Amino acid sequence: MSAENLAGKWTRKCGRTLLHSLTCLVFLFLDFLDALLCVVFKLVDEFFEGEARTPCYCGNDGENKQMESETLSDSLCMRRNVLRKMGFLGFARKWKMCRKKKDDGDGGVNGGLMVNRWSDCGCNSCVSWTKKGHAHKLHVVVTHLPLVRTEVPTGDEAAENVIFLHGFLSSSSFWTETVFSDLSESCKGHYRLFAVDLLGFGRSPKPNDSMYTLLDHVEMINKSVVSPFQLNSFHLVAHSMGCIIALALAAKYPNLVKSVTLVAPPYFPSAKDGAGTSLTALNKLAGKTLWPPLAFGKSVMSWYEHVGRCFCFLFCRNHRMWEMILKLFTLRRELRFTEVDLTRHTHHSAWHNMHNTICGGATMTDEHLETLNKSRSVKVSIIHGDQDMEVPLECSKNMKMKFPELVQLNIVPNADHISVIFHRARDFAKNLEHIWASSQNPSISNLS
């Protein structure tokens, strides 16, 4: 080995050690900052609203773990934090919301969980769902079948339904603004498309007494789409976080679902102990890292509850101001839907969706896949970009490996988490039409 080579190696090693130390330092600082903010938020909550009600998970983890392990993700209470390890956290407020809810039995508006609202946006579009007479349902965009269809003797029965579920910090626009317009005319005539804003995002309700678990999502979709539109069969298409919900939905209605298409599903095989899986999900999806900046932001928002609340206070609460500034700077009249959707949530809804649906839901995905595997009436098609930095391709490969009969994996070269759809919407739409059409004759799998 030449001296030059050796020097290069040494420099790289030094650089790595330095970066590692820096990362440790920054996150140690954030551990302290989060603890400090816990106290600050308690005081400010009390100042504004008389009582600190927003739940926080700074308390001692052993106690919490026993409480509501069924519905709440372990990643909420078992996140690594130096201070918690030393038993320092939780001096400001103990996490007692769930216990309270259990004692009261009903968890109603006054008895159960409530959160402080001063740090959330109260603009008309953000709170429209709380208006009187507004049914507590998700925002659903439905395409209507062309009138011609009704003149066909077979009527609407011949039509099929497709439900689209978006990912984290997104909304129904993710599908309506992209893939919807790329579907062929004949397809649009045959399929009725439903795109929902998931609970806690976009124009959908963001209830302060919900824990945003997988079960909540499935119930809301039943209440907002499946029941009111009396769907007796449907296809599912989901992206990222929506995939976890789609599999839960499919496992609940294995007889109604005709096909499941997952784009970049965050799948983690169940560990022996349940807690392992949700923590693995948290580490893989939002690992503690300083670079790139987006990944750093993601890890801070996912690991630090109170720091995250500060961010939401700055950006979500003041989203109208930021949107104005962005428009001024970019000289655009309209913002892209992806920019707008980024702030359409409350801290309570995003935080709990991240932990209870994404991390906690990961522990249940295997069970749902087994249900589907057993029912043998539906296939799961996965589409995943090989450059995906948000959800590693390894997730889909693992699912394919564990359920080879059930899962069909389509790896898209040179595509990342978003561009796998946005930069090839036409191909993607074609792919979907093919999947829907080929799931037409379930008799094949039933007979075999």
**Which residues participate in catalysis according to the annotation?**
166, 240, 388, 417
What binding mask, one character per residue, do residues 213-252 give for ligand NAG by CB under 6 A, x or -?
---------xx---x------------------------x
Stretch that binds ligand NAG, among 40-48, 241-249, 308-316, 369-377 (CB under 6 A): 369-377
DSSP state of 11: H
Q: How far is the CB of 281 from ligand NAG (least distance, A)?
A: 20
Residue closer to ligand NAG by CB (options 32, 118) is 118
123 contributes a contact to ligand NAG by CB under 6 A:
no
Which residues, at least 6 apart from 63, have a Cβ–Cβ distance to it below 8 Å?
none
Per-residue contact string for residues 53-92; x = within reach of ligand NAG by CB under 6 A:
----------------------------------------
Size of the site for ligand NAG (CB under 6 A): 16
Residues paired with residue 236 on neighbouring β-strands, in sequence order: 163, 260
91 or 403: CB nearest ligand NAG: 403
Residue 254: cis peptide before it, omega within 30 degrees of 0: no
User: How many angstroms separate the CA atoms of 445 and 279, rounded?
Assistant: 37
Stretch that binds ligand NAG, among 37-45, 242-250, 306-314, 368-376 (CB under 6 A): 368-376
Q: Which residue's CB is nearer to ligand NAG, number 289 or number 377?
A: 377
**Distance in angstroms (rounded) separating the CA atoms of residues 256 and 253:** 5
Distance, CA of 193 to CA of 142 (rounded, Å): 6
Q: Name the residue among 106, 144, 118, 1 with its Cα closest to residue 53.
A: 118
373 near ligand NAG (CB under 6 A): yes
State which amino acid sits at residue 259.
S
Q: What is the C-alpha to C-alpha distance for residues 332 and 327, in angstroms, rounded to an integer?
A: 5
Of the candidates 405, 413, 443, 448, which one interacts with ligand NAG according to CB under 6 A? 405
The pairing of beta strand 257-263 with beta strand 407-412: unpaired
Which residue from 107, 112, 200, 207 is in contact with ligand NAG, where contact means CB under 6 A? 207
Restricting to residues 90-109, name those near ligand NAG by CB under 6 A.
109
With binding defined as CB under 6 A, does residue 270 bind ligand NAG?
A: no
Q: Are strands 234-239 and 191-196 parallel, antiparallel or unpaired?
A: unpaired
- 418/389 Cα distance (integer angstroms): 10
Dist. CA 104–CA 127, nearest whole Å: 27
Q: Footprint of ligand NAG on this chain (CB under 6 A)?
A: 109, 114, 117, 130, 207-208, 222-223, 227, 252, 370, 373, 376, 402-403, 405
